[in-house]
Amino acid sequence: MPRVHIPAPARDLTGGEVELELEATSVRRLIGALDERFPGFADRVLEDGELKPGLRVAVDGHVSAMGLLAQLEPGSQVHFLLAIGGG
């Protein structure tokens, strides 16, 4: 199962859980599964059904260009990160 890293500010919802394994084949489904288990999670990361402006999803350490559409493999590691602007 993919593993998702819960950002520290959202751990109030997960009872302090930092990393979870959840059955999901895409980031969108993963968020749905998280919200089902921890109601309110989706509101923290989504706005009008899309990732909040500036929020990014990293799969296996790489910020995915696909966002919610990114496909997950059984061993995928998922992180929520903010966009980073370079100079």
Partner 1 sequence: MATVEDRQFRVEPFPGGTPGNQRLVEEGRLPDYDVVGTRPIRHDGTDKVTGRARYGADIKLSGLLQGYVLRSPHAHARIVSIDTSKAAEVPGVHAVCTNADMPSADHRAGDLGEGIVDWYHLNQNVLANDKVLYTGHAVAAVAADSVHIAEEAARLIEVEYEVLPPVLDVREARGADAPVLNDDVRTDLQPAGETGDTPTNVAKHFHYEKGDVDAGFAAAELVIEREFTTETVHQGYIEPHTATAFWSPDGKITVWTSTQGSFMIRMQVAELLDVPISKVKVVPMEIGGGFGGKIAVYLQPVAAVLSKLSGRPVKLNMDRSNVFDATGPTPGSYMKVKIGVDAEGKITAGEAELLFEAGAFPGSPINPGCMCVFACYDVPNGRIDGYDICVNKPRTNAYRAPGSTHVALATETIVDEICEAQGICPVEFRLKNAVKEGDERVDGVTYPPVGMWETIKAVELSDHWQSPLEGPNRGRGIASGFWFNFGGNSVVAATVNEDGTVSLIEGSTDIGGSRASVAMQLAEILGIAAEDVTPTVVDTDSIGHTDVTGGSRTCHATGLAAIKAAEDIQAQLCQRAAMLWDVESEQVEYGDGATLTGPEGKTISFQEIAGKLTQTGGPVVGRGSVNADKHGGAFGTHIADVEVDPDTGKVQVLRYTVVQDVGTAIHPSYVEGQMQGGAAQGIGWALNEEYHYGDDGRLHNASFLDYRIPTCYDLPDIETIIVEVPNPGHPFGVRGVGEVPIVPPPAAMANAIFRATGVRMRSLPMSPPKVLHELLSSDG
| Phi and psi angles of residue 11, each rounded to the nearest 5 degrees, phi first | -75, -10
Nearer Cβ to partner 1, position 15 or 87?
Answer: 87
The two three-digit tokens of residue 42, written as one number = 């989706």
Task: Give min distance, CB of 56 to partner 1, in A.
Answer: 9
Q: If phi over 0 gives left and psi between -120 and 50 gives alpha, with beta otherwise, what is residue 43?
A: alpha
Task: Give min distance, CB of 17 to partner 1, in A.
Answer: 13
Contact residues for partner 1, defined by CB under 8 A: 5-11, 18, 41, 44-45, 53-55, 58, 60-65, 77, 79-87
